[in-house]
Amino acid sequence: MDNKREYIYRIEPGDADFMKRATLMSLADYILHTAGEDADRGGFGVRDLNLHNASWVLTRMALEVERMPAEYERIRVTTWVSAVTRAMTTRNFEVFDEKGVRIACAVTNWAMLDLSARRMLDLHLLPAYDSMTQDFPLPAALPCRLAPLSGGREYEHAVVYSDLDFNCHANSVKYIQWAVDTLPLELLQQKRFARTDINFIREARYGERLRIVAAEEALAFEIRNPEREAVCRIAFRME
């Protein structure tokens, strides 16, 4: 392969917020959807891995937004895999508007999970997967490792049916939603999510009462399970 593969989407009314722009969640959703489609196309999708009782797990994500696309706008998402180690692979994304201007980009890290043993698998078990990698420069800095949060304002959320994905744990995009929903509406109106770093640490299961700890001024968040373990950490830089 010598080209980034590309996928076209339209920002539908259901993807847009009251300002008629895509939400950070819907942009992240299109990006993760692209990952799924492209892995499928390469023969390494969740459906393929499921046959071997394995699945992809998103471990980190960095998402940079220059301009949030508007309702009814068409976006083109390109994607490529840039690295494969035993434990982790990196998948990159660039988002272009109809004029060909790059308006967002993302770098994601993924691990492969054995669904029975709930342990990580060696990515070299997929010998052909290396052929997926392409040698383009990273579109943004790698996702940061986020430090534990000591304190902040606390919110509670019990994981409900509509939060669940096919793995029966809370969907990655929901974590972003819980953090974004704690922010003041004025901030969301006045600024954009210039960069978002997310560390996915543990699964959040149905019925679990999570604590969303928000150090609001730092725009840093930690989502904890009832055992007080960090499930996810998120940091926003808004401009």
- Residue ranges binding its own copies (CB under 8 A): 12-14, 16-18, 20, 23, 25, 29, 33, 36, 46, 71, 160-162, 164-168, 171, 173, 177, 180-181, 183, 185, 188, 206
**Closer residue to its own copies, CB minimum distance, 15 or 197:** 15
Q: How far is the CB of 33 from its own copies (least distance, A)?
A: 6
The two tokens of residue 177 are 């939603």
Q: How far is the CB of 14 from its own copies (least distance, A)?
A: 6
Q: How far is the CB of 160 from its own copies (least distance, A)?
A: 4
**Closer residue to its own copies, CB minimum distance, 25 or 132:** 25
* HEC string for 180-228: HCCCCHHHHHHCCEEEEEEEECCCCECCCEEEEEEEHHHCEEEEECCCC
Please calculate the CA angle 126-127-131 and round it to the nearest 5 degrees: 105
Classified as helix, coil or strand, 44 is coil
Classified as helix, coil or strand, 13 is helix
Q: How far is the CB of 136 from its own copies (least distance, A)?
A: 26
Q: Which amino acid is at 13?
A: P
**Closer residue to its own copies, CB minimum distance, 84 or 223:** 223
